[in-house]
Homo-oligomer: A and B are copies of this chain.
């Protein structure tokens, strides 16, 4: 009976979604809590997902001319204070280093919550002429934000991310880069993570501290809550003026650069879990799964079974494949493979070997397919592709079915009382109105989508003339 523990221990989604999430991250061995409050240990199964995200995003970045660099992890207090809005946004939640070794520091430093100020300080010394532009730099690192409430991947005092920081000669080029990176994030989510996203611009209230404009991609989780999954900021020349980053242009005039920054973090692993997971655990899209196929031998002590399993692993060498040859029972191994979200399970036992076939089971649909061993490679390839595309289709359907339209305040409030999801509604563009919505309804503007629709002429909440269509939702 001990064998069933793994599966029994997980709370069902419908019963308690938050507990289900916590169970999955623990039971799928993605993370562990650490002795350092609010910080997590990312275990091999979790880190391998991040490595795959890194590799595939990094390739997409480099194809557009991005170069990787590394900045110090500390920011002297005076540097953090150079851009007024920025310091106001971040100072309340940074960790402060006050001593080096046995001595107090002359000036305290924070551990980077984000590195705009460091990049600006560097660019100030490194950019002189139009020939030095554009700078399209990125770094993979960890950042620290001293949050009060934390949850694995979603909100953690330390998390891993990439942060791109660019400098351009013109406002137009900066705007193009801001949008280009948002598109890279959106395409990556759809094509690799099988997560459809809404692309749009953040309102003034929700934009990044110090940005001229913030764009984001917003995904819808299984429980109907939104998760901001990537952001791209256009700073205009605001930081350049605060830091004095000037260059001599072709016309021999001294000008300020225009800057952008953009980032995706380990938070996106939370999105993978909450978009695709089910009551048996994690379900990983094949393109991001560290292990795509688990071969599970049946009656493995019988002669030839394990050898056959290893032979199949060899045969499937172009995929990420493993054999579970531990001394656990097949049922236990099945549960583990399901909990860990491994896309395909190949079952092979004495009878299968005799018949020259095996059984393949898809993680997402539980569908079982029998295949001749000589067809195995081809079948696996097709199944992985099918699963990847089906997962996106299902996530799209969920997004569509949980996106509502509200034309007046009554509907707007009613929908959020009865349902969870995105609500599309017109908005007057006033921050006071947005704040009232948040205050009274506990929902926030997620973004003003690039694909605007004119649903009506008046603001859904205050009735004033409408300026923008907004996606509203409850967010992580």
Contact = CB atoms under 8 A, between A and B. Distances in A.
Interface of A: 32, 34-36, 39-44, 47-48, 50-51, 67-76, 79, 92-102, 109, 111, 118, 121-122, 125-126, 131, 137, 141-142, 144, 146, 157-158, 160, 326
A111 B101 CA distance: 11
Contact of A97 (B51, B96, B125): B96
A32 to B, nearest CB: 7
A64 to B, nearest CB: 14
Given A99-B96, A101-B92, A34 B122 contact: yes
Given A44-B67, A144-B73, A94 B101 contact: yes
Contacts of A96: 97-100
10 contacts: A34-B121, A35-B79, A39-B73, A42-B70, A44-B69, A47-B69, A47-B70, A48-B67, A74-B95, A92-B101
B35 A47 contact: no
- When all copies of this chain in the complex are counted, the total is 2
Contacts of A72: 34, 36, 39-41, 158
Given A32-B122, A98-B96, A126-B32, A47 B73 contact: no
B76 A35 contact: yes
A158 B74 contact: yes
Contacts of A35: 76, 79, 118, 121
Nearest to A266: B70
A37 to B, nearest CB: 9
Contacts of A118: 34-35, 41
Contacts of A36: 72, 74-76, 109
A40 B118 CA distance: 11
Contacts of A95: 74, 97, 99-101
